[in-house]
Amino acid sequence: MAFLVAVAALGLIIAAFMSPLLDRAVDELALPLQHADIIREQAADKDLDPALIAAVIYTESGFRDQTSPAGAKGLMQLMPATADYIAHKSGGSEFEQGDLATPRINIAYGSWYLRYLLERYGGNEVLAIAAYNGGEGRVDEWIVDARELGETFNAADHIPFPETRGYVQKVFDARERYSEEYARELGLGRSR
């Protein structure tokens, strides 16, 4: 009987020690984070919230380097024409499409594009994130449509595509979770 009590006590001690480690492992599966150093670097360089960059990566690719059926590439799922535009505007004269498989380049280009969209839409994060997903032309149309109705753009009322509305919401939800769960890793000054 003493042996069983000792084994049970040892089991409880091991469980108590392992619980935080297991919790963290489950969190990382549900909400992965890779390349935090590159994300922090690009956030500082482009004056972006690192949790926003992480949330876009998570929403776009789940931190998996892949090519979408539409042809978007890498962690931040950049379309080849968009990447070429970014290379031209940012001085990436040596850029080749294959570079989008490199996390440092993909995150740098995706972050550049986020900064560009934020500036284009006067800091309006909803419009910038909607444009990242649905394209600038569509967002511009939605803004004009809202103005013609005498209204100020509102995502819930003026984004006609449920996919894009859902995308924007998913990015903002993920951003909040990254801010809470990975504050230290993203250099946000808060930790769990």
Q: Provide the pLDDT for residue 38.
A: 98
Q: Provide the pLDDT for residue 93.
A: 83
Residue 124: closest CA among 149, 155, 83, 157: 155
Q: Which two tokens stand for residue 113?
A: 């594009």
Q: What is the 3-state secondary structure (H, E, C) of the chain?
A: CHHHHHHHHHHHHHHHHHHHHHHHHHHHHHCCCCCHHHHHHHHHHHCCCHHHHHHHHHHHHCCCCCECCCCCECCCCECHHHHHHHHHHHCCCCCCHHHHHCHHHHHHHHHHHHHHHHHHCCCCHHHHHHHHHHCHHHHHHHHHHHHHCCCCCCHHHHCCCHHHHHHHHHHHHHHHHHHHHCCCCCCCCCCC
Alpha-carbon torsion (28, 31, 36, 40), positive or negative: negative
Cα 97 to chain centroid, rounded: 21
Q: Provide the pLDDT for residue 10.
A: 61
100 contacts 87 by C-beta, under 8 angstroms: no
CA distance 123 to 116: 10
CA distance 141 to 164: 14
Q: Is 28 a catalytic residue?
A: no
Give the global pTM.
0.83
Which CATH number describes the domain made up of 34-181?
1.10.530.10
Cα dihedral 131, 132, 134, 135 in deg (nearest 10): 60
Q: Provide the pLDDT for residue 7.
A: 58
User: What residue ranges of the chain have pLDDT lower than 50?
Assistant: 21-28, 191-192
Q: Provide the pLDDT for residue 155.
A: 83
Cα 184 to chain centroid, rounded: 17
Q: Provide the pLDDT for residue 26.
A: 41
Give the Å distances, CA to CA, from 144 to 130, 162, 184.
Answer: 15, 19, 41
CA distance 99 to 33: 21
Domain residue extents for the chain: 1-30, 34-181
Catalytic residue among 60, 163, 180, 181: 60
Q: Provide the pLDDT for residue 6.
A: 59
Which residues make beta-bridge pairs with 114? none
Q: Provide the pLDDT for residue 21.
A: 46
